Structures are given as structure tokens and as C-alpha cells.
Homo-oligomer: A and B are copies of this chain.
Amino acid sequence: MPWDLKPDRPIYTQLIEQIQLNIFSGVYPLGSKLPSVRDLAQEAAVNPNTMQRALAKLEEDGLIITHRTSGRSITEDANMVKLARNRLAKEQIAEFLEKMKLMGFEKQETLTLITTMLEEMKK
């Protein structure tokens, strides 16, 4: 798989995003075994610790499971994946609404704005 890493954001967050996508989209099938941190790191041309950091976050989110000395695998729980995806989305949304609030936009106004904005983009 192609690792697309840009220098404008932390590497580890980009790794998280890309692995997440691969899990959500089924590129990494449920229950499948992941390459070792070192192998993944080499593949992505990245320090093993950096890859480790990304994997740790994914484990925390319940997307992957660590088997101490025999590597990691994707969770087998399809529902877990669905929930995690949903939770991550809600976190982003909450953070976004918070920012808008700081700027003086209440929830309702924000929703209207985003709706009309998407409407405009369709044209």
C-alpha cells in the first residue's frame, strides 16, 4: 500500500488516518494480522517508534488488538469498527461546534451555514 506522508503535519497522525481508512474500507480485513511495527515502519519509511505511536492510538480506539509477542491484528468485531468510526466523527463534530461557538456562532446558525454552503457547492 502507498504511504502518503506530507511534512506539514505530524507523521503519526497521518499514519493513524491512513490505517484507519484501511480498516474502515476493508483493505485490512477484520481479524487479519498486521505486519510487525518494524515492518510497517520500514514500509512507510518511518521510525518504528512513530509507527508504534500510531498503532497505540488505534488500539486505544479498539480497532486493533495487540498480542504482546506475536504481533497485532485488526479487531474481529465489525460493530466495534462501526462504533469507532462513529465516535471519531462525533469527536470532530463536537470540536468543530466548539470552535464555532468561540467565534460566536450558535449550533443552529452553524447548521444553517453549513447546509447552504453545501448547497452552493453542488452547483
Contact = CB atoms under 8 A, between A and B. Distances in A.
Identical subunits present: 2
A25 interface: yes
Contact of A104 (B24, B102, B115, B121): B24
Interface size class of A (residues with CB under 8 A): 20 to 34
A13 to B, nearest CB: 10
Contacts of A83: none
Interface in A103-123: 103-105, 107-108, 110-111, 113-115, 117-118, 121
Interface string A74-108: 00000000000110111011001001101111011
A43 interface: no
A21 B117 CA distance: 22
Nearest to A18: B102
A97 B55 CA distance: 25
A73 interface: no
A39 interface: no
